[in-house]
Structure 1
Amino acid sequence: MFTVRTAFTRISRLTTLSLMSATKKQKMSLTIGTHDGTFHADEALACFLLHNTEKYQGASIVRTRKPELLAECDIVVDVGAVYDPETNKFDHHQRTFDDTFDDKHSTKLSSAGLVYKHFGREALRRMSKRELSADVLELVYQRIYDSVIEGFDGVDNGVSRYPADLVPKYADSTHIAGRVSRLNPSWNDKDADVPIQFMKAVRITGDEVSSQLDNLVLSWLPARDIVANSILNRKSVHPSGSILELETACPWKDHFFDLEKDNEGDDTSGILYVIFPDSAGSWRVQAVPTQPTSFQCRKFMPEPWRGVRDQALSELTGIEGCIFTHANGFIGGNRTREGALAMAVASL
């Protein structure tokens, strides 16, 4: 039976559909402007990040250098010689531009870093496969810049990672900027579809950030509590407090140094070794490095042990179950927890 209520319901549905359609149309009508010609990794990533914000998801990308066309865009990145967040202009090529991510960084921002600085938190929150608290989001936001985005900024601005007089011993063309560069049409390819190639670059740069984010949220962050607990309970492993025991193998170095920096009332500088089970069922003892990425250690394992393996090492150390000590002395192995702990204690 057709009633007034039925008619009202139908009208309401039509109105809702109309509003949804208008909203979708509005989103699709937004445009991101960037330069045409040869494209680079920084503006490709900038476009990817913007596509992961609520406002610019689904926005079309206009590649041009014509001022009249850029003026019609809702946001402009990597072109136009203007940096003005209030008017959605994010270029870094102008002579007066010298902005960095924050006071702790000296690398000048590219369009990738600029967009990340202003929209990165929202993009990461929407991209993450898990809900992130405000504190965790900030931690991830800083970490992604340090491990990924700053590399885009440095390459695009010609900032060398090494002293100017240091010549690399080998070429590396597989980094993200090199991969994006190869997507540009070659000089003798007159039939290339540049917009398609550019969108491939957007996907490649986006996949890099997405995979880094997944690793941080799903693997790196869960390890933080494990490391924190090991620091708190270290004296139950050995009275000296110089040996940490991790309940499982996990990415521990970054967390260790972060937590050490935060633990102002707890002197952890005397922590020298970490023991943990490995994936094969044996145990490892690893010397704490002087910084997360260094092979220089606070205290290497004993020199006479280095490069010795198996029974010969057990006889040398007087510890059963030894597997190896690395030739550089930064890590060793034993078949049991007790053996790994004994190796760490003897190394003290």
Structure 2
Amino acid sequence: MNFHTVVTHDTTFHADDVFAVAMLTQFHAGFNLIRTRDKSILHYARLDPQIVVLDVGGRYEPEKLNFDHHQDTALPSAASLVYRYFKNRICPQPAQPYFEEFVSVIDLLDTNRGNIYGQLDTLPAGFRTVDNLIKGFNRDVTDPAQQDKQFRLAVDFAVDIVKNEKHYALLRNRLENDYQKREILPNNVAVLTEYHPDWKAKKEHVFAVMPHANGWQIQSRDTTIDKVPESISKCNGFIFRHGSGFMAVLRDRKVAVDYASSLPMHR
């Protein structure tokens, strides 16, 4: 559905309204933005199917592009409501399961589901969530012109985050496909064709072979279980072994795989 205007509330802004607007910019450039709580403007906007009303207005009517959640505590944040409706235009389908993890965090922070703020209270005072970073753009909430300017700066910041999250979601999808196609050596060492930063979280292998900027690396999932032995330094094309034994780099893939084949079996 096409739209020409987006309406959200004025004064203080948070991650959900900022990211909702930022996600809309991913497929629609140049729409008019209005920040207001004026009842007459909101009444008109809610009736116009070419105006998106988000995080204000007291209605959740996606067919009319009304995306408020405050009238129903069972609803997620405005960012999630907007994403649900426009997700195929915001994010490529293969990346959606991973991108949605990011959107769900905005929900938690906006609605305090699961008492997320109680958990955050246990973290160091300097810890910042994505919502904290967005709130930091607020200035004098009694100055509408200044707040509108700051809102737009916050949206620009959020647009870059959305682009990064989409990139990372697409990368994770590609890496997951690569992981599913991995070679598994007889001693249960995984051999991957791409560098995979999350292979350890799966806890299916203690060692993995994967590309490195200088050749091929062997990584240990957990050095308390096993380390890459110091004997790897005797291999042809040896480049580096970390002192902790969590990884080592060899120049040639075949040498790396052959050495990895000699490592102890772990299940």
Aligned residue for 2:181, secondary structure, equals helix
CA apart distance, 1:335: 3.5
* CA distance 1:347–1:285, change in 2 (3 Å): farther
CA distance in 2, matches of 1:334, 1:45: 41
Task: Give runs of aligned pairs for residues 242-257 of structure 1, distance below 5 A.
Answer: 242-251=188-197, 253=199
CA apart distance, 1:325: 6.3
Is residue 83 of structure 2 the alignment partner of residue 116 of structure 1?
yes
* CA distance 1:325–1:341, change in 2 (3 Å): farther
Letter in 2 for 1:119: F
Indicate which of 182, 186, 191 corresponds to 1:239: 186
CA distance in 1, matches of 2:62, 2:190: 47
Q: What is the percent sequence identity of the aligned residues?
A: 21
CA distance in 1, matches of 2:99, 2:118: 25
Give the root-mean-square deviation of aligned CA atoms. 3.5
Q: Which residue of 1 aligns with 2:43?
A: 71
CA distance in 1, matches of 2:96, 2:120: 33
CA distance in 2, matches of 1:140, 1:63: 31
Q: Deviations over 1:154-197 (max 9, x none)?
A: 11113454864962134223x4322221221247x859622221
**What are the ranges of 5 or more consecutive residues in structure 2 without an aligned counterpart?**
46-50
Q: Deviations over 1:78-106 (max 9, x none)?
A: 11222221332211112x3313xxxxxxx
Letter in 2 for 1:122: R
CA apart distance, 1:138: 2.6
CA apart distance, 1:212: 1.8
Letter in 2 for 1:45: F
Q: Which residue of 2 aligns with 1:204?
A: 157
CA apart distance, 1:149: 1.2
Q: Which residue of 2 aligns with 1:20?
A: none
Relative to the length of structure 2, the TM-score reads 0.77
CA apart distance, 1:117: 0.9
Is residue 73 of structure 2 the alignment partner of residue 97 of structure 1?
yes
CA apart distance, 1:123: 2.1
Q: Deviations over 1:260-289 (max 9, x none)?
A: xxxxxxxxx8644211232233522333xx
Q: Which residue of 1 aligns with 2:137?
A: 183
* CA distance 1:110–1:228, change in 2 (3 Å): same
Q: Which residue of 1 aligns with 2:123?
A: 168
Q: Deviations over 1:14-67 (max 9, x none)?
A: xxxxxxxxxxxx96xx3222111111121111122233445xx43212211122
* CA distance 1:178–1:249, change in 2 (3 Å): same
Q: Deviations over 1:186-244 (max 9, x none)?
A: 47x85962222111111111210112213333x444434433332xx42xxx334x121
Q: Which residue of 1 aligns with 2:32?
A: 60
Indicate which of 214, 225, 243 corresponds to 1:300: 225
CA apart distance, 1:110: 0.8
CA distance in 1, matches of 2:172, 2:119: 34
CA distance in 2, matches of 1:205, 1:154: 17
**What are the ranges of 5 or more consecutive residues in structure 1 without an aligned counterpart?**
1-25, 100-108, 125-136, 258-268, 288-295
Q: Which residue of 1 aligns with 2:63?
A: 86
Aligned residues: 254
* CA distance 1:165–1:212, change in 2 (3 Å): closer
Task: Give runs of aligned pairs for residues 248-267 of structure 1, distance below 5 A.
Answer: 248-251=194-197, 253=199
Indicate the structure with greater strand content: 2
Task: Give runs of aligned pairs for residues 1-348 of structure 1, distance below 5 A.
Answer: 30-53=4-27, 57-73=29-45, 74-94=51-71, 96-99=72-75, 109-124=76-91, 137-146=92-101, 148-159=102-113, 160-161=115-116, 164=119, 167-173=122-128, 175-186=129-140, 193-217=146-170, 219-230=171-182, 233-234=183-184, 238-240=185-187, 242-251=188-197, 253=199, 271-281=205-215, 283-287=217-221, 300-301=225-226, 313-314=230-231, 324=241, 327=244, 331-335=246-250, 338=255, 341-342=258-259, 345-348=262-265
Aligned residue for 2:83, secondary structure, equals helix
Letter in 2 for 1:69: I
Aligned residue for 1:193, secondary structure, equals helix
CA distance in 2, matches of 1:153, 1:343: 43
**Which has the larger Rg?**
1
Relative to the length of structure 1, the TM-score reads 0.61
CA apart distance, 1:114: 0.9
